[in-house]
Amino acid sequence: MTTTAEVCYTFEAALDMAISMEERCYRAYLNTLRLVKDKAAQSLLKDAAVEVSEHKQKLEIALLEGNVEHLQQMQKEVPIMQLDTLFKQESVHADATARETLAYIIHMKKNSIDFYDQLVGSCEGAPMAPVYKQLSVSVRSQLQQAEDMYEEHFLTEN
């Protein structure tokens, strides 16, 4: 059985892959937090790390319980502004501002959505496709919040 087939048809493999993704995001935020000096940027990164950690914990609980019933209570799909296509802030430096850091967080969340959406496409018609779709929707809601924050603080109306 291939890895793709396992994550599409095996509950445990599907959640393990999602947990690994969330752990990579958490580590990226943590490493970036240790790098940046700006207090506002650090605060944004802490909040993003906590959010990813909580999402990962929900996945771990689903794995322990053997079901995703509490995941089904996540939000409905929301529209996003696609700010990542404008900024593509793939990393930050030690002197990064809050604006750069928030653009980086937006990029990381967009990467997570792309990861889950790719799995949805790969697993179309398989038992785990709806789980990946729900995970994508959940991260999309987080992305919308980050984009709203960016718009509120850094985009000015003409």
Place of tokens 């729900």: 134
> 70-88: per-residue pLDDT in tens?
665 555 677 777 787 778 8
Instruction: Give the per-residue pLDDT at 24.
Output: 96
The DSSP H or E segment spanning 30 is: helix 11-35
Place of tokens 């038992």: 127
Is-contact 58 70, C-beta < 8 A? yes
Instruction: Give the per-residue pLDDT at 99.
Output: 94
- Residue 77 backbone dihedrals phi, psi, to 5 degrees: -60, 135
Coil vs helix vs strand at 91: coil
Instruction: Tell me 60's DSSP state.
Output: H
Q: Among 2-11, 26-35, 132-141, where is mean pLDDT lowest?
A: 2-11
